[in-house]
């Protein structure tokens, strides 16, 4: 069984600026050595943050670039939404709702969670890898 990786929005941003620390993870997904996943909520977060910083056109281009990779975008469903809600309730103000979706997806997939969020990286429920921007 292939190792699964879940990416948060910050990791996508690092990838698109060619950060060498995350390159091998994306290469492994593109080469089908590992399964890569991102919640549609996290992809939305990536889009709006890119739009705020670089404009809508750049955000749209990068959004569609990600959609064309081997990274599977996992749409929300009733169970994932419930699990993200449970995580948000438990973390209260420490984690954003998008981070809670990433955590819920990592739990569902039994995946390693790649994140740029210090608070999210503190979870003991899944393996995490923290990449500070």
pLDDT 10s digits, 85-129: 999 999 878 999 999 999 999 999 999 999 999 999 999 999 999
Domains of the chain and any CATH numbers? 4-130 (3.40.50.1010)
Given a contact cutoff of 8 angstroms between Cβ atoms, the answer to whether 42 and 77 are in contact is no
Which two structure tokens, joined as six digits, stand for 80?
A: 């994932």
**pLDDT value for 93:** 84
Q: What is the pTM of this model?
A: 0.95
Give mean pLDDT, residues 41-53: 97
d(Cα 52, Cα 55) in Å, to the nearest integer? 6
Write the DSSP symbol of residue 28: H
d(Cα 77, Cα 63) in Å, to the nearest integer? 21
100: left (phi over 0), alpha (psi -120 to 50) or beta: alpha
């Amino acid at each position: 069984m292939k190792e699964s990786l879940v990416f948060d929005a910050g990791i996508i941003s690092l990838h698109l600026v060619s950060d060498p620390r995350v390159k091998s993870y994306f290469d492994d997904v593109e080469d089908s050595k590992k399964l890569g996943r991102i919640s549609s909520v996290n992809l939305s977060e990536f889009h709006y943050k890119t739009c705020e910083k670089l404009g809508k056109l750049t955000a749209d281009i990068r959004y569609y670039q990600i959609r064309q990779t081997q990274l599977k975008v996992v749409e929300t469903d009733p169970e994932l939404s419930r699990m993200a809600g449970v995580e948000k309730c438990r973390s209260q103000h420490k984690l954003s709702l998008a981070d809670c979706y990433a955590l819920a997806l990592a739990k569902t997939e039994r995946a390693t969670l790649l994140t740029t969020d210090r608070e999210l990286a503190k979870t003991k429920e899944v393996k995490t890898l923290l990449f500070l921007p």
